[in-house]
Amino acid sequence: MIKTLQNTLKQDKEGFDLPKSVQDAIPIRRLWPDGIFQFGSKFSKTIRFTDINYAIASKEDKTSMFLGYSELLNALDTGSTTKITINNKRLNRQNFEQEILIPRQDDYLDGYRAEYNSMLMDKVTDSSNSVVQERYVTLSVHRKNVEEARAFFDRVTADVTTRLSHLDAHSEELDAVERLRVLHDFYRTGEEAEYRLDLRDLMRKGHSFKDSICPDSLEFKKDHFVMGGKFGRVLFLKEYASYIKDSMISELTALNRSMMLSIDVIPVPTDEAVREMQNRLLGVETNVTNWQRRQNNNNNFSAVVPYDLEQQRKETREMLDDLTTRDQR
């Protein structure tokens, strides 16, 4: 295994304490008003960004967007981990009415405003339009204290925000209240409009922020969990096919369900990645040599290398070239 992956798994491995309450099941140890959370020995920061029109773009624009996304991933620090999250959640009708609908102006155009608002509300009441998507990039890093973590996030988040803007995606850093809102809406589905949180008031009263976001109950079963009065399940995909269509993520998130889809990204230093690919290429070339030797021993001197071995050799060389020429991580 690559050394970076071994170090990451070693650092993330922590002792598990059996939670004695629903609040204890939320692994956040400390938080700061600027949006930095501490869980275990790691600190994290979240950026929310808007979608880009990738699906309807031309082939050239798709290639440009993909290369820009690759540059974003390549700019991530090798000492940190990144989680890209797509959050499907039910539309909060009260917030929709406040933010989207046109308010009355007490003039002769109020009739048109009412008709327009009625059309919007008809669309929202349709089940296929009642799910909205939010997208986040969460950066996590091991540091000794919050000052070192804050200095790291100031540098990395600025770089990530700049590269997202190059993709025409607007982004914003979430403070502690906004990050807790995401957890509140997840744990308390259907109670989004009831979210009220004042960190200063909680500190003054000596209350825990977890009391405001945790569900009423939390049960873990063999293949699912029960959160309040709702049932859920977690699916973890570890092994992927050698070829994945670019529409896979959009197809998964197109389901009309409240769900979170996360992709974990662990940047690997270029020298380690090149060394790993060189070892793989050496293994493929060894398999090809052994196969040719067996054919020669059978007096078959004109045999063509099997397609799967030739394909492995080609793909490994292409990836090695891509790593070295573009300094990929």
Q: Residue 136: count other Cβ atoms within 10 Å of its Cβ.
A: 19
At residue 315, the 3 state secondary structure works out as: helix
- Same domain for 245 and 146, yes or no, is yes
* 68 & 143 share domain: yes
* Within a domain: 113: no
Q: Are residues 263 and 284 part of one domain?
A: no
228 occurs within a structural domain: yes
Residues 8 and 139 occupy one common structural domain: yes
CA distance 295 to 307: 15
Residue 121 included in any domain = no
**Residue ranges, the chain, pLDDT below 50:** 127-128
Please check whether residue 67 is in contact with residue 73, taking contact to mean a CB–CB distance below 8 angstroms.
no
Q: Give the end of a domain, one of 244, 268, 292.
A: 268
Instruction: Please check whether residue 116 lies inside any domain of the structure.
Output: no
Place of tokens 């939670």: 19
* Residues 6+ away with beta carbon under 8 Å from 116: 102
Query: Is residue 38 in a domain?
Result: yes
Residues 187 and 322 placed together within one structural domain of the fold: no
Residue 105, phi-psi category: left (phi > 0), alpha (psi -120 to 50), beta (remainder): alpha
Residues 243 and 295 in one domain: no
Output the pLDDT for position 20.
86
**Residue 61, C-beta contacts closer than 8 angstroms, at least 6 positions apart:** none
248 lies in the same domain as 314: no
Residues 148 and 262 in one domain: yes
Q: What domain count does the chain have?
A: 2
Residues 6+ apart with CB under 8 A from 31: 37, 38, 176, 179, 180, 209
248 and 225, same structural domain? Answer: yes
The verdict on residue 106 lying in a domain is: no
Residue span of the structural domain in which 304 resides:
272-326
Same domain (yes/no): 179, 242: yes
- d(Cα 235, Cα 12) in Å, to the nearest integer? 20
Residue 28 inside a domain? The answer is yes
> Is residue 226 domain-shared with residue 248, that is, in the same domain?
yes
Of 220, 249, 268, the one marking the end of a domain is: 268
Residues 220 and 300 in one domain: no
Of 218, 242, 268, which residue sits at a domain end? 268
Quick one: the chain helix, strand, coil %, rounded to 5? 45, 15, 35
Whether residue 125 lies inside any domain: the answer is: no
